[in-house]
Amino acid sequence: MKRKVYLILLLGIIALTGRAQIGGEYTYQFLELTNSARIAALGGTQVAVSDSLDLNLPYHNPSLLHREMSNRVLVNYVNYLADINYGYASYAQSYEGIGNFAVGMHYINYGKFEEALETGELTGATFKAAEYALNLIYSNSYQRLSYGVNLKPIFSSFESYQSFGIAADLGLNFSSKSKFTTVGIVARNFGTQISTYYQDGKREKIPFNLEMGISQRLQHAPLVFSATLQHLTQWDLASPAEEPDFSTETIYEYDEKFMKQFMRHLVFGVEFLPSENFILRAGYNYQRRQELKFEEKASTVGFSAGFGLRIKRFRLDYGISRFHLAGSSNLFSLSINLNDNL
């Protein structure tokens, strides 16, 4: 009974902190990018994947940090679009009677830019742009219920313009007795800018995202299905029906039916496990497909795939996400078990 009360209270707090977001109206948008090859292969976000050895999972739901992840190191690298690169590095440690801790650094490097005047004339100078978020994760459990928090100090730098901010994730997950079913919920990126990019600037919104998901492993087949509902505080995720007029505050949206709107919230993934050391993955993100496809040729936009390979102390994952006809994003994850007992 107490657990139900705590869960209701947490969901109430989440509902109060969550606000509908319109794309392009918030800062620190890199916080929404997945840096895990596995999660990218499963559609871009999953918050209920049950795997006590994958240190990538607490980034998406801090309650998925388990004591079995203790003394493991993780390094991710993402070859993104337009020469943009980003990644994540993390280390975990558990303490009996206290809980599980992990520290990680999420960064994105937008590359080098050539400075130009308003007329377009190059000055010969160059500048860089990058953003960083420190991840301080804690989790614990009560019977089959796990809970966790991720505190994220943020630093953003674009040429001479800099901003500091703070964000946090709150997560819960519940596993069945058989361990075949896991349900998770997470409130991601609620927080604020501490300092703006310029003096006396208006504080911009943080990209809050309320997600809820489930994963189900089949009892008599080597398959795991995962599904996550994202952006639960904003029902209408449709793209503009026409080019917006930025001289007004009018918001243009498609008038879509219920099922299409629902599908925009759903991210679906599946894993095929022919052995304990090799895994194949695939995913589908309907919202991404609708936003980035060409009407005359949708191709495989919105689909993703990848694989995982375990060799003794090492775990290597690869994922590829199809964002656009112009290109895809390639993700690499390497995890190392530093424990003596394998």
DSSP string, 36-89: -HHHHHTTS--S----TT-TTHHHH-GGG--GGGTTEEEEEEEE-STT-EEEEE
First vs last C-alpha separation in the chain: 39
Distance CA 153, CA 134 (A): 6
pLDDT tens-digit series, residues 324-339: 766 788 999 999 999 8
Closest CA to 89 of 70, 103, 71, 78: 103
More confident residue, 288 or 337: 337
Above pLDDT 90, what percent of the chain?
Answer: 62
pLDDT at 342: 60
CA–CA distance from 136 to each of 148, 191, 246 (Å)?
A: 11, 15, 39
* % of the chain with per-residue pLDDT over 70: 85
Total H helices, total E strands in the chain? 5, 14
- Only one residue has tokens 């003096």, namely 199
Q: How confident is the model at residue 21 (pLDDT cuts 50, 70, 90)?
A: very low
Which tens digit of pLDDT belongs to each residue from 213-252? 999 999 999 999 999 999 999 888 875 544 555 555 555 5
> Average of pLDDT values for 96-122?
91
What are the φ and ψ backbone dihedral angles of 306, each rounded to 5 degrees? 175, -175
Q: Could you give the domains of the chain?
A: 2-112+123-336 (2.40.160)
Q: Report whether pLDDT(11) > 60.
A: no
Tokens matching residue 4: 């139900």
Structure-token pair, residue 193: 């800018």
Q: How far apart are CA 287 and CA 275, in angstroms?
A: 32
Q: What is the largest CA-CA distance in the chain?
A: 68
pTM value is 0.85
CA distance 304 to 320: 6
User: DSSP label at 264?
Assistant: H
Q: Alpha helices of 207-265 — where are they, by DSSP H? A: 258-265
Please report the DSSP string for 273-284 in residue order.
Answer: EEETTEEEEEEE
Label residues 166-187 b or e (16+ Cβ within 10 Å = b): ebbbbbbbbbeeeeeebbbbbb
pLDDT average, residue stretch 111-124: 86
* Distances, alpha carbon 7 to alpha carbons 20, 185, 224, in Å: 22, 10, 26
To which residue do tokens 């390639």 refer? Answer: 330
Residue 73 has pLDDT above 80, yes or no: yes
Residues, the chain: 342
